[in-house]
Structure 1
Amino acid sequence: MVVVWMKDMKNGAASAGIVKDHDNGTYTGILRTLWTGRAAMKAAVITSKERIDFTYDILRKGYQGKSINCIFRSTRAVETTNGYMDINNMKTDNLCNFTSQYHGVPFYCGKPKGEGLRCVDWTQVSCRLKKMTLSSNEQWFYESRASENLPDVINITIGHVEGDTASASRPCYLQDPRNTWRATPPVGFSYQHTWRPLSCFSNIKTTNSYHHCLANRTLRLYGDSTDGCKPQTTQFGMWGPVYENILKQEFVGINNRVVYLDFWDMTVALESTANHPSSQIVKTMLDMFFGYVCKTELN
């Protein structure tokens, strides 16, 4: 997987491009000019086919990132059994299926054997990181760098862009949700260290505007990193485009009522290399998210 982006240090600007894979070992990167100035065009290999194959192989062998324990409790007994996200990894047919309680995500626990304990007595999940069992060669490959910036950097001068930068004139809360699913990259860019979406602008930036927006509202947050027993490992970021395709297929029937926020461009342009983006990037994501929900900003 190859990504391209360009960066203008003087203007605090950056944007991501799109990459076309020609399936013969060559790629074409396309970058849209969104501001006036100078920029350095960069490229990086995020992961290789060999690393993706390696990742799938260790998953097929049953590795799931974390060891999951299911705790069952009654007034008379407590018992712990193993938990799994994939039923094929279960070593017993005596199981409790908690998929419905887990918001539709497959999740299974071994059925408790203690007297009087049943599946309905499931009360808690605990997790711990699970070390992979690898050969010396596999361990070397796993610990090697997953991504690498290409050494060549192309410096360019960007001529006239109307108004010096591309900009949106419509607030995000007026945006048709269906447009968020149809948008093509780039969906935004950074300028003067501020993220600027191309289709709309967020009107939420201050603490007061957040308080005003969330007053008398119920907010529910679901996500893999906020859920203690979702498996995570360090080198699986290349699944982003895969999940994107799955989401777009699953939400086809209701995409007129659901907003899809694509932050891939943001993390590439802002050179986010950690497993999780920085607090500043997360704040920018939240500002964008609430821009679709909240109508006004208080001064």
Structure 2
Amino acid sequence: MLHVVISAKDDRNRTVTNIGDFFRASILTREEEGGEQTGRKKEIGGSGAVGIITDHQNGTYTATFRLLWEGEVTIRIQLVHPRQAIDFIERNIRRYPIDLVAFQKRYVVGHGTVDTQCNVDPVIFKNTSAVWRDPLVNRRRCVRGLATQQISGFYRNGVWNSLVCKNRHFSSQAGWQQCLKGKTMHFMGDSTIRQWWEHLVRILKMTETHIPEAKHSTGPLLAQDPVHNITVNFRIHGPPLRAEWTRTFHIKYVVNAIDEIEGGPSDVVGLTIWAHFTSYPVEVYKQRMEAVRAAIERLLHRSPETLVVIKSANTRMGNSLISGYWLAYKLDLMMREMFRGIDVVLVDAWEMTNAQHWHGDAIHPAEDIVVQELEFLCSFICPL
């Protein structure tokens, strides 16, 4: 591989810090025939390949070439357009979307001809989806059983847009209250789903019930909004735990906790289990999740109207040997496979934390990310 660094300069030899100048790069070897006998040389077909341009967004670029043949080579770098020219071209096309080139159609009528102007029908610009192919057009309502695509959504101006279904966004506390009115939320798992409990309590300004000797980190936690009849619970998933000292009578295996839920159309069960299992072989995690899946199947059998939501792992940094990114990723892949084909909702926190770039990777995602996870959850509780 050959790497060539390019520095864009103006006519005063100052570095130009444009972002998006359009360069063209190629590598070539010219071949010539003829020689001393004729005194003339004729250039014939030579060797050549393109280079890949990387814009470092600071006025410098790198052209990368593969060296695919032997011999002397020439590197050719061409500034096709500076960024300003590209901007002008794009503005011009938007200003004159069908008027830059005139077309004529000729009708032959007997021995005569009739010419008329023609072009693209401008009516197509009234349908933006036809022009821009908006990926958010024609999304379905958020209901259980929808498949999660490989790319399940994207951020636009910091707001998550699901490609799975039409996801909600709330602009006021009243919107949250109307959606969750009459609901009982059972959140079980590790601290990344405890964040759901914490932020709902904050958003809805709920009243927390003090449970004697319960620790906030492990629960059980209970909060209520009596006006709108909203109840939110949290409890840890049971051992293994990396947490502060906790009374054992407050710890319950998640399978047993699921079996105690009667269920119904007003119940939402949210689960995430991963962060405390990363230091174990995947077989340990698999066995636990098989038991969880069986408990969920029993719940849905006795109460099919219960909404069950699985929150995936989220990206994180940490000791690579016990809690790092790769270990979390492996468990997340197993979890997805474990719940394939079962009538549950997946909140893809892995992608929602992986796609953002304004926060670092952390075991506990930032507030704005957690709130958008909750908005996606609510998209299935009160679909648009």
The TM tier, using the shorter chain, reads: 0.3 to 0.5
- Bigger Cα Rg: 2
Normalised to the residue count of structure 2, the TM-score between the two structures is 0.31
